[in-house]
Amino acid sequence: MDMKERMKLPRHPMPEQDPKVRARNFDEVPLGYTPETAKEEALRCIQCKNPTCIEGCPVEIDIPGFIKLVAEGDFLGAARKIKEKNALPAICGRVCPQEDQCEARCIRGKKGEPVAIGRLERFVADYERSQGEVSIPEAASPTGKKIAIVGSGPAGLTVAGDLIKLGHDVTIFEALHKPGGVLVYGIPEFRLPKAIVASEIDYLKKLGVKVATSNVIGKLKTIDELFEEGYDAVFLGTGAGAPTFMNIPGENYNGIYSANEYLTRSNLMKAYLFPEYDTPIVKGKNVAVIGGGNVAMDSARTALRLGADNVYLVYRRSEKEMPARIEEVHHAKEEGIQFHLLTNPTRYIGDENGWVIGMECLRMELGEPDASGRRRPVPIKGSEFVIDVDTVVVAIGTGANPLIQSTTPGLDTNKWGYIMTNEETGQTSREGVFAGGDIVTGSATVILAMGAGRKAATAIHKYVMNK
């Protein structure tokens, strides 16, 4: 196909489950490209001499390189190419905000639509897995250095993948009973199937990474005790795990959840399969989700799948200011989530048994831009109204969990409790202790945590080899 023809190819849409059907099941929403679609989409890439897409990728995948292999039909080769830089492509292909990263820099996006890089990454990873031919690189010769990684989310997994390939002895400590962090407790099955997370972690195990679940570092062992046990360096990737509430009256009524609890029950504990699984969840009929981020969208869409009649997405700013990915907002709307924008809850109303039955809200208008650059929502006086609800999910962000910081003397944190690090190396105020991901930045994205993990892994390698 010549360049002219290639330029004419339109971006291939992602086949998806029908909105009405998928709103009542937990199966994955996008169905994935076929090999034919993937090849054709890959032909849209014009193989720029100076590709800008790579600059947009926090882990610097050779994007034109893998796409060329896809176009040639060498899907396994493409998978190997991605894995030179990214050990978790099936996950990133699904949850990265490509529209703000690689795809935002794609030359083809200047006039028309960018190459669907994320969809191709996902296709390649899925293809490799379905072939059962996941390639295991040759093991590096052992360095004799022991590294402890605390937390098995995206940051910790990236550090583990990078360091094991360099020949270090790597152990991940995870507080919960399953590894994956936010990938298993937070992101729902319909957006990131747990079997995929499990297989990416299996890949790391095959490389030699040890995973110790149900180990709560800070309680069972302190960081100092890890050093006493002979670890040469420690990476902290514990995430921003503490839920935030609004501290408005009635917030502890029955039926009001933090998004963390709601999603953990459904995703990690599989409450949507109750009573086959033991963990229950309140299956509300009228559910309000407070917030405008990806977690709010995940919660709202989960509520729908649990059988709600009405799911209200209540956000204090307008849709333009929503931090959620456009695709997630689009999916939520398609499935029938009702958006109450410029609306902010002020108190909850409960019955005599302590169950929430209503939520009083104020209407808001947008004022001057605030510190985040977004226009500040200002309440409209006297605009109170009540929404009837039996379940509420508060998804307004998370904070730092102090478990490690409070048991590690000399570990500096900022005023919000996040660990302070050198941005380039992840080095903390304690020698041999590195950190990255949400526990440093506050709630961000999977790929940014992976980017931080990549940098920290490089620094940890340098540190232990010079020790």
Stretch that binds other proteins, among 119-127, 291-299, 399-407, 428-436 (CB under 8 A): 399-407
Cβ(221)–Cβ(230) below 8 Å: no
The first and second tokens of residue 16, run together, are 């998806």
Q: Which residue among 52, 143, 199, 213 contacts other proteins (CB under 8 A)?
A: 213
Stretch that binds other proteins, among 15-23, 114-122, 277-285, 376-384 (CB under 8 A): 277-285
Stretch that binds other proteins, among 142-150, 400-408, 410-418, 440-448 (CB under 8 A): 400-408
Q: Which residue among 21, 195, 220, 380 contacts other proteins (CB under 8 A)?
A: 220
Residue 219 binds to other proteins (criterion: CB under 8 A): yes
Minimum CB separation of residue 89 from other proteins in Å reads 27
Q: Which residue among 17, 215, 346, 429 contacts other proteins (CB under 8 A)?
A: 215
Q: Which residue among 254, 346, 429, 458 contacts other proteins (CB under 8 A)?
A: 254
How many residues of this chain bind other proteins (CB under 8 A)? 45
Instruction: Match 């360049």 to its residue by tokens.
Output: 3
Q: Which residue among 258, 344, 413, 441 contacts other proteins (CB under 8 A)?
A: 258
Minimum CB separation of residue 415 from other proteins in Å reads 19
Q: Which residue among 47, 214, 338, 414 contacts other proteins (CB under 8 A)?
A: 214
Stretch that binds other proteins, among 244-252, 293-301, 307-315, 324-332 (CB under 8 A): 244-252
Residue 405 binds to other proteins (criterion: CB under 8 A): no
- The residue type found at 304 is L
Alpha carbon 287 to its chain centroid, in Å, reads 23
For the beta sheet containing 433-435, the strands, ordered from the edge strand earlier in sequence to the opposite edge, are: 210-212, 169-173, 146-150, 233-236, 433-435
Residue 354 binds to other proteins (criterion: CB under 8 A): yes
Alpha-carbon torsion 96, 101, 107, 112, what sign? positive
Minimum CB separation of residue 402 from other proteins in Å reads 8
Q: Which of residues 117-176 bind other proteins (CB under 8 A)?
A: 175-176
Q: Which of 233, 230, 236 lies closest to 463, judged by CA?
A: 233
Which is closer to other proteins, CB of 261 or CB of 360? 261
Which is closer to other proteins, CB of 356 or CB of 446? 356
Stretch that binds other proteins, among 43-51, 86-94, 114-122, 255-263 (CB under 8 A): 255-263
Which is closer to other proteins, CB of 199 or CB of 215? 215
Residue 416 binds to other proteins (criterion: CB under 8 A): no
Which is closer to other proteins, CB of 24 or CB of 219? 219
327 φ/ψ angles, rounded to the nearest 5 degrees: -60, -40
Residue 451 binds to other proteins (criterion: CB under 8 A): no
Residue 221 binds to other proteins (criterion: CB under 8 A): yes
Residue 333 binds to other proteins (criterion: CB under 8 A): no
Residue 385 binds to other proteins (criterion: CB under 8 A): no
| Interface contacts to other proteins, rule CB under 8 A | 175-177, 185, 212-216, 219-221, 241-243, 245, 247, 251-255, 257-258, 260-261, 264-265, 269-270, 273-280, 282, 353-355, 401-403
